[in-house]
Amino acid sequence: MKKSNGREIYYLLELLVKYKNSKIVATTAEVGSALGLSQQSASRILRNLEKSGLIELKRVGKKTRITIAQRGLSLLKEKYLILRKFFEQEEAAIEFIGSVTRGLGEGSYYVTIYTEKLEKFFGKKPYPGTLNIQLDEKNQEKLNFVKDFYLDKFQVIPAFKKSGRTFGKLWLKKCYLSKFVNNDFINLDGNFILVIPERTHHRDEIEIISDLNIRDRFSIKEGDILKVKLEF
């Protein structure tokens, strides 16, 4: 069974929305018309959904019985609960949990380049380095959600040129850190900022900056589990 992707989840949701039923009997041409696709595209998508274990297909005369499988329903419910939580709360709090990882050594360079602009945001000079936290797939989805729907609540450092080179935009948001110790998360006392750069090689990581050396101050090492909390 292959892993489902975002495109397949989208079409699975579209099937449920268009037909308002988890059991559908239709030709692939009819499914294509409902989804705004050609018959060939609809047929390919249905086969992919079946391979992912999200639907079950069975021929019924000239038509096909399409049943959204339990795995598909569970996946849609999981996405629904995440979306409901984010959209229904007036004051949303989003948390990421990940493990500390070593960056590529670029953090110190870029913090130095942005120092003057970051100092205006901090009110003090930032420590020349970033704390990188590796995210699993579930937490990456949360990060993508924040990028899609919450960046307007971040402060922004616009792109700028320096020494003939263009440096991209940064989105900044105050965050709260806690460290997993003895089966519980312990809050860390400090001034922490989540940075979302316009240009990055770390799609599965988040970067935290501070006015202090977070690793040294809180005895953080690679592999430690941290929780990052954003409040909106």
DSSP string, the chain: -PPP-HHHHHHHHHHHHHHSSSEEEE-HHHHHHHHT--HHHHHHHHHHHHHTTSEEEEEETTEEEEEE-HHHHHHHHHHHHHHHHHHH-SS-EEEEEEEEE---S-HHHHHHHTHHHHHHHHSSPPPSS-EEEEE-HHHHHHHHHHHHHTGGGSEEE--EEETTEEE--EEEEEEEEEEEETTEEEE--S-EEEEEESS-S-TTEEEEEESS-HHHHTT--TT-EEEEEEE-
pLDDT of residue 31: 94
Between residues 106 and 127, the one the model is more confident about: 127
Between residues 166 and 6, the one the model is more confident about: 166
- Kindly report the pTM of this predicted structure: 0.63
pLDDT per residue over 82-123, tens digit each?
Answer: 777 666 655 568 899 999 998 656 667 778 888 888 888 777
Q: What is the mean pLDDT of residues 10-34?
A: 91
**Predicted confidence (pLDDT) at residue 189 exceeds the cutoff of 80:** yes
Instruction: Classify residue 14 as exposed, middle or buried by CB count within 10 Å of its CB (0-12, 13-18, 19+).
Output: middle
pLDDT of residue 79: 82
Q: Using CA atoms, how far apart are residues 229 and 177, in angstroms rounded to an integer? A: 7
The structure tokens listed for 92 are 């949303």
Backbone angles phi, psi at 60, to 5 degrees: -130, 90
> Which of 113, 114, 106 is CA-nearest to residue 171?
114
Beta carbons of 192 and 177 less than 8 angstroms apart: yes
**Predicted confidence (pLDDT) at residue 136 exceeds the cutoff of 90:** yes
pLDDT more than 90, % of the chain: 50
**Predicted confidence (pLDDT) at residue 26 exceeds the cutoff of 60:** yes
pLDDT of residue 93: 83
* Contact residues for 217 (Cβ-Cβ < 8 A; gap 6+): 190
pLDDT-based confidence at 4, cuts 50/70/90? Answer: low
User: What is the average pLDDT score of the chain?
Assistant: 87
pLDDT of residue 1: 60
pLDDT per residue over 139-182, tens digit each?
Answer: 988 888 888 778 888 999 988 888 888 888 899 999 999 999 99
Q: What is the set of domains in the chain, with CATH numbers?
A: 6-74 (1.10.10.10), 89-231 (2.40.30.30)
Between residues 89 and 36, the one the model is more confident about: 36
pLDDT of residue 68: 93
